[in-house]
């Protein structure tokens, strides 16, 4: 009897430990409005001179240009060109950047935004 009970307890513990293992990207639903708003919030923080860490804990943003001290002068979301894979929103952004030398350049960067389980924003590496 004791052996049967201990086997059931072990089976129960194993079942509980495996509950999260079956999660796929399809389970991570995208909220496109939240994704767009979060991207705008993050980019505006960059324009305002804040640091990526200032967005946490609500938004995690990883952009090497921002982290290295490049200034974002202005930005324009090219929402008509955005796309989604169901888990992430891909939003092209026209950015006006000011480097350490003071030179201003315009570039188009596509940001990948996820909203589940947390909000993450990263530039797409080509």
More confident residue, 44 or 13: 44
Residue ranges of domains in the chain: 28-123
Pick from 42, 95, 99: nearest CA to 70 = 99
Backbone angles phi, psi at 56, to 5 degrees: -80, 150
Where does 28-123 sit in CATH, by number? 3.10.450
* pTM over the 0.85 mark: no
How does pLDDT run across 14-30, given as a tens digit for each residue? Answer: 333 333 444 454 568 99
How does pLDDT run across 22-67, given as a tens digit for each residue? Answer: 445 456 899 999 999 999 999 999 999 999 999 999 999 999 999 9
Q: Could you count the other beta carbons within 10 Å of the beta carbon of residue 14? A: 9
- The token pair at 77 is 């979301």
On the question of pLDDT at 76 being above 90, the answer is: yes
| Cα 21 from Cα 75, distance rounded (Å) | 39
- Cβ atoms of 108 and 95 within 8 Å: the answer is yes
Reported as a pLDDT band with limits 50, 70 and 90, residue 4 is very low
| Cα 105 from Cα 78, distance rounded (Å) | 17
Reported as a pLDDT band with limits 50, 70 and 90, residue 116 is very high
Tokens 């909220």 sit on residue: 31
């Amino acid at each position: 009897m004791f052996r049967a009970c201990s086997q059931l307890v072990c089976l129960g513990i194993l079942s509980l430990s495996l509950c999260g293992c079956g999660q796929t990207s399809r389970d991570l639903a995208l909220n496109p409005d939240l994704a767009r708003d979060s991207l705008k919030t993050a980019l505006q923080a960059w324009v305002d001179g804040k640091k990526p860490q200032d967005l946490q804990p609500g938004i995690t943003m990883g952009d090497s240009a921002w982290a290295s001290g490049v200034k974002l002068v202005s930005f324009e979301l090219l929402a008509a060109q955005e796309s989604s894979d169901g888990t992430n929103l891909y939003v092209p952004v026209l950015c006006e950047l000011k480097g350490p030398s003071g030179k201003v350049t315009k570039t188009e960067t596509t940001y990948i935004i996820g909203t589940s389980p947390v909000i993450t924003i990263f530039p797409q590496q080509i």
